[in-house]
């Protein structure tokens, strides 16, 4: 039995406005009481962070979807990690495949951002995963190894425990095609083994690793029952409180 926390993290992407955010937080506050290992995180669009931090209760943590690797300067349109920290944001998604695909994020920029986030005591949710071509050519493990090696370069043992990893196969994101429980677990076990090679087994056993890609209340339980999966990074199914609350209730039943 795993003693690691169970994380249900919602990535709202470029969806939900002020009214939806307020209603979501209100519904969650009324319906859910979390204690113990289950933690809930919502990552809204940046202009909503302040409102959500203000209205949330202790059951909910708030994360950003991106940040710059510097804390201030002439970078029009960017988000300062110092400001995120000041706002009371606790988590930040780094290296999501959509950022890598549409905004030229590389393993090197991801590495800089991970280090800065840790410096500001923000918990990074470090995303990695292969595309369909890589999966079909059996290049998944090699690809994940590079993403881990380059993304985590220079991050010390003491710091790596303060980050979380989200394994998100690109072919499963927003497509309705979830990886099977076995495939998701097998790949996450590989990630954990590689973390053991980098940081030692004791540390690798403590690192939180989430699965992401078309997770919903329908398939969450089977995923959470797997030995190496510690939660989910959820896009579409995190947008309404109904569906998000269902997932938290499922997570609470996991032993
Ligand atoms: P999805 O998105 O759940 O809508 O597939 C997951 C993600 O991109 O984090």
pLDDT tens for residues 185-231?
999 999 999 999 999 999 999 999 999 999 999 999 999 999 999 99
Does the C-beta of 235 come closer than 6 Å to ligand 1?
A: yes
Q: What is the DSSP letter of 15?
A: -
Q: Is 168 in the pocket of ligand 1 (CB under 6 A)?
A: yes
How many angstroms is it from 106 CA to the middle of ligand 1?
A: 20
Regarding beta strands 164-167 and 60-64, do their DSSP bridges make them parallel or antiparallel, or are they unpaired?
unpaired
Read off the pLDDT of residues 141-183 as tens digits, 9 standing for 90 and up. Answer: 999 999 999 999 999 999 999 999 999 999 999 888 888 999 9
96 a catalytic residue: yes
Inter-residue contact 11 to 238 (CB < 8 Å): yes
Closest residue CA from atom 6 of ligand 1: 235
The protein residue whose alpha carbon is closest to atom 3 in ligand 1 is 235
Per-residue pLDDT tens digits for 29-79: 888 888 789 999 999 999 999 999 998 888 899 999 999 999 999 999 999
CB of 215 sitting under 6 A from ligand 1: yes
Cα–Cα distance for residue pair 55/146, rounded to 1 Å: 40
Active-site pick, 98, 105, 130, 168: 168
Terminal Cα distance for the chain, rounded: 7
């Amino acid at each position: 039995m795993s003693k690691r926390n169970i994380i249900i993290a919602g990535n709202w992407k470029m969806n939900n406005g002020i009214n939806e955010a307020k209603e979501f937080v209100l519904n969650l506050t009324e319906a859910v009481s979390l204690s113990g290992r289950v933690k809930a995180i919502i990552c809204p669009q940046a202009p909503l962070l302040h409102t959500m931090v203000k209205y949330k209760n202790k059951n909910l943590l708030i994360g950003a979807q991106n940040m710059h690797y510097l804390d201030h300067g002439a970078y029009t349109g960017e988000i300062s990690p110092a400001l995120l920290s000041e706002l009371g944001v606790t988590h930040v998604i780094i290296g999501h495949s959509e950022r890598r695909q549409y905004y030229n994020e590389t393993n090197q920029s991801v590495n800089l951002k991970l280090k800065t986030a840790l410096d500001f005591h923000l918990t990074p949710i470090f995303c990695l995963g292969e595309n369909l071509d890589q999966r079909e050519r059996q290049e998944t493990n090699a690809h994940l190894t590079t993403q881990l090696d380059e993304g985590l370069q220079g991050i010390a043992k003491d710091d790596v425990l303060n980050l979380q990893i989200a394994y998100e196969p690109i072919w499963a994101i927003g497509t309705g095609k979830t990886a099977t429980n076995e495939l998701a677990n097998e790949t996450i076990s590989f990630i954990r083994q590689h973390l053991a090679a980098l940081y030692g087994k004791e540390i690798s056993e403590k690192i939180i690793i989430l699965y992401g890609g078309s997770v919903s209340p329908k398939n969450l339980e089977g995923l959470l029952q797997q030995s190496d999966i510690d939660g989910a990074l959820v896009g579409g199914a995190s947008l309404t409180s109904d569906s998000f609350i269902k997932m938290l209730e499922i997570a609470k039943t996991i032993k």
